[in-house]
Amino acid sequence: MPELRKDPVVGRWVIISTDRARRPSDVATEPVRPTGANCVFCEGNERKTPPELLAGRAPGSAADGPGWSYRIVPNKFPALRIEGEIDPVGEGLFDRMNGVGAHEVVIETPRHDGSLATLSPEAVTDVLVACRDRIRDLKQDPRFQYILIFKNHGEAAGASLEHPHSQLIATPIIPVMVAEELAGSGRYFEIKERCVWCDIVRQETRTQRRIVLEGDGFTALAPFAPRLPFETWILPTRHRAAFEESGVDELRGLARVLGEFLRRMNGVLRDPPYNFMLHTAPLRDAPVESFHWHLEIIPKLTKVAGFEWGSGFYINPIPPEDAAAALRAPGG
Rounded to whole angstroms, the Cα distance separating 52 from 110 reads: 14
Which one of residues 43, 214, 245, 322 is an interface residue with a copy of itself (CB under 8 A)? 322
Residue 248 interacts with a copy of itself (CB under 8 A): yes or no: no
Residue 268 interacts with a copy of itself (CB under 8 A): yes or no: yes
Which one of residues 70, 144, 218, 276 is an interface residue with a copy of itself (CB under 8 A)? 276
> With contact defined as beta carbons under 8 Å apart, do 107 and 43 qualify?
no
Q: Give the residue numbers annotated as catalytic, written as ranges.
A: 165
Q: Which is nearer to a copy of itself, 142 or 310 (CB)?
A: 310
Q: Tell me the residue type at 295.
A: L
Q: Which is nearer to a copy of itself, 198 or 216 (CB)?
A: 198
Residue 99 makes CB contacts below 8 A (sequence gap 6+) with 1, 2, 3, 4, 15, 16, 17, 79, 80, 81
Residue 305 interacts with a copy of itself (CB under 8 A): yes or no: yes
Residues 180-219 that bind a copy of itself (CB under 8 A): 180-181, 184-185, 188, 196-197, 199-200, 203, 207
> With contact defined as beta carbons under 8 Å apart, do 302 and 231 qualify?
no
Residues 41-100 that bind a copy of itself (CB under 8 A): 79, 91-94
Of the chain, the end-to-end C-alpha distance in Å amounts to 53
- Taking the complex as a whole, the smallest distance from the CB of residue 301 to a copy of itself amounts, in Å, to 4
> With contact defined as beta carbons under 8 Å apart, do 259 and 124 qualify?
yes
Residue 214 makes CB contacts below 8 A (sequence gap 6+) with 205, 220, 237
Residues 96-135 that bind a copy of itself (CB under 8 A): none
> Could you tell me which stretch among 23-31, 41-49, 107-115, 130-138 binds a copy of itself (CB under 8 A)?
23-31
Residue 331 interacts with a copy of itself (CB under 8 A): yes or no: no
Cβ-based neighbour number of residue 172 at 10 Å:
21
> With contact defined as beta carbons under 8 Å apart, do 172 and 97 qualify?
yes
Q: Which is nearer to a copy of itself, 57 or 143 (CB)?
A: 143
* DSSP-assigned letters across all residues of 244-309: GG--HHHHHHHHHHHHHHHHHHHHHHTS--EEEEEE---SSS--TTT---EEEEEE--S---HHHH
Q: Which is nearer to a copy of itself, 31 or 247 (CB)?
A: 31
Q: Which is nearer to a copy of itself, 40 or 325 (CB)?
A: 325
> With contact defined as beta carbons under 8 Å apart, do 6 and 129 qualify?
no
Residue 1 interacts with a copy of itself (CB under 8 A): yes or no: no
Residue 288 interacts with a copy of itself (CB under 8 A): yes or no: no
274-279 vs 294-299, strand pairing mode: antiparallel
Tell me, rounded to whole angstroms, the distance of Cα 26 from its chain centroid. 26
Residue 254 interacts with a copy of itself (CB under 8 A): yes or no: no
Which one of residues 64, 155, 214, 245 is an interface residue with a copy of itself (CB under 8 A)? 155
Residue 142 interacts with a copy of itself (CB under 8 A): yes or no: no
Residue 318 interacts with a copy of itself (CB under 8 A): yes or no: yes
- Taking the complex as a whole, the smallest distance from the CB of residue 130 to a copy of itself amounts, in Å, to 18
